[in-house]
């Protein structure tokens, strides 16, 4: 979790994303849409806080809609404020780009939009793989948004942590082939996203470090971050990296197994797409069942402990000492910007 952006199992439903049809009528007056959105938000927020499944249409009507722009092979790319998806249905692959400036922090709004976008791709049988990358070369994602964890109330902390859990659950057990094209620094939550993917390609730039560095901020990575890293680089390497809050430059990240390939910056996305073709050569049912077999125990660990994990997070982040540490860190960041 670096930067003010250091870094619920919603099970969102589906609905048409273009205007007309079963969606909101195109001729609906703007004032009516605003009024409807304002009525929807309190109910939606209570549903999220309670951890209930929320239909995608409820999120859309609450102002989290997805716009569709451009066209490619008959399939339109879709985007909202913080996530851009560029689909290529002919190839069965989509490129999902983070665009939440300045550092692609995992804010609550970003997490919600990301979960909607990934679910839409999972539900579309035209797609078998997704390349996850950044729309801002130089920063993949700085991780969890410290502003979501500082100076808020317990209900907000719980809502935020459910959304973080949801992102991990969607990524780690996705039926799609997920390739991380890491074109910038990826500390904390950025690293978490990367190691949830099936394969990781990192740009060869010494500034583009990757790792779970939570201890440097005086906080602790959750057990499911730890479990994911153990599954990736082994127990001893994870223990050392987590305790020291290590951030690995490309060569060391490759050596320890945190990434699978290091390539020149201008080759990151093309390499990811090339690797994707190798994974997609495997029959989906066999690959998906194997992936589930390998990851099920890790997923079940969080699912069984999910509510307790939320309560532990809320209790921990609400402590005066932790809040003071976060405030000091955020103040230092403000001074650097000044």
E strands, 46-165, where?
67-72, 75-79, 83-88, 93-98, 105-106, 129-134, 138-139, 143-144
Of 214, 242, 258, 302, which residue is the catalytic one?
Answer: 214
189 is an active site residue: yes
Q: What is the largest CA-CA distance in the chain?
A: 60
56 is an active site residue: no
Other C-beta atoms within 10 Å of 118: how many? Answer: 24
In order, the DSSP letters of 67-80 are EEEEEETTEEEEE-
Of 144, 176, 202, 258, which residue is the catalytic one?
Answer: 144
- With left for phi above 0 and alpha for psi between -120 and 50, is residue 70 left, alpha or beta? left
CA distance 275 to 129: 11
Parallel, antiparallel, or unpaired for β 83-88 and 75-79? antiparallel
Quote the tokens at residue 163: 């959304």
144 is an active site residue: yes
The DSSP H or E segment spanning 276 is helix 268-280
The DSSP H or E segment spanning 30 is helix 30-50
Chain-centroid distance of CA 190 in Å reads 8
CA distance 20 to 338: 47
Of 189, 190, 211, 245, which residue is the catalytic one?
Answer: 189
E strands, 110-222, where?
129-134, 138-139, 143-144, 177-182, 184-187, 199-203, 210-211
239 is an active site residue: no
Residues 6+ apart with CB under 8 A from 93: 87, 127, 128, 129, 130, 131, 273, 276, 280
Of 12, 205, 213, 247, which residue is the catalytic one?
Answer: 213
Q: Give the residue numbers marked as catalytic.
A: 144, 189, 213-214
């Amino acid at each position: 979790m670096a930067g003010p952006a250091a870094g619920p199992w919603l099970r969102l439903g589906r609905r048409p994303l273009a205007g007309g049809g079963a969606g909101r009528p195109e001729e609906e007056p703007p004032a009516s849409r605003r009024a409807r959105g304002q009525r929807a938000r309190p109910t939606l927020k209570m549903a999220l806080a309670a951890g209930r499944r929320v239909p995608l249409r409820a999120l859309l009507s609450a102002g989290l809609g997805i716009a569709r722009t451009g066209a490619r092979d008959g399939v339109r790319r879709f985007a909202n404020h913080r996530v851009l998806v560029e689909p290529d249905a002919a190839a069965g692959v989509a490129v999902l780009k983070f665009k939440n400036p300045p550092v692609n922090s995992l804010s609550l709004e970003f997490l919600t939009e990301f979960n909607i976008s990934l679910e839409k791709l999972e539900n579309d049988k035209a797609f078998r793989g997704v390349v996850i990358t950044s729309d801002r070369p130089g920063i993949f994602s700085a991780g969890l948004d410290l502003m979501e964890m500082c100076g808020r109330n317990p209900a907000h902390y719980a809502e935020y942590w459910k959304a973080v859990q949801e992102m991990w659950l969607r990524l780690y057990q996705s039926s799609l082939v997920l390739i991380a094209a890491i074109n910038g620094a990826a500390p904390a939550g950025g690293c978490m996203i990367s190691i949830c993917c099936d394969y990781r390609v990192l740009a060869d730039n010494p500034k583009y470090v990757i790792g779970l560095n939570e201890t440097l901020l005086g906080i602790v990575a959750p057990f499911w971050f730890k479990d994911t890293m153990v599954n990736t680089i082994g127990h001893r390497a994870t223990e050392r990296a987590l305790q020291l809050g290590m951030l690995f430059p490309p060569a060391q990240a490759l050596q320890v197994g945190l990434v699978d390939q290091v390539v020149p910056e201008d080759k990151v996305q093309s390499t990811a797409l090339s690797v994707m073709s190798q994974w997609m050569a495997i029959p989906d049912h066999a690959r998906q069942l194997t992936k589930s077999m390998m990851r099920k125990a890790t997923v079940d660990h969080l699912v069984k402990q999910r509510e307790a994990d939320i309560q532990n997070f809320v209790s921990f982040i609400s402590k005066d000492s932790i809040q003071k540490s976060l405030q000091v860190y955020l103040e230092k960041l403000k001074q650097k910007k000044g």
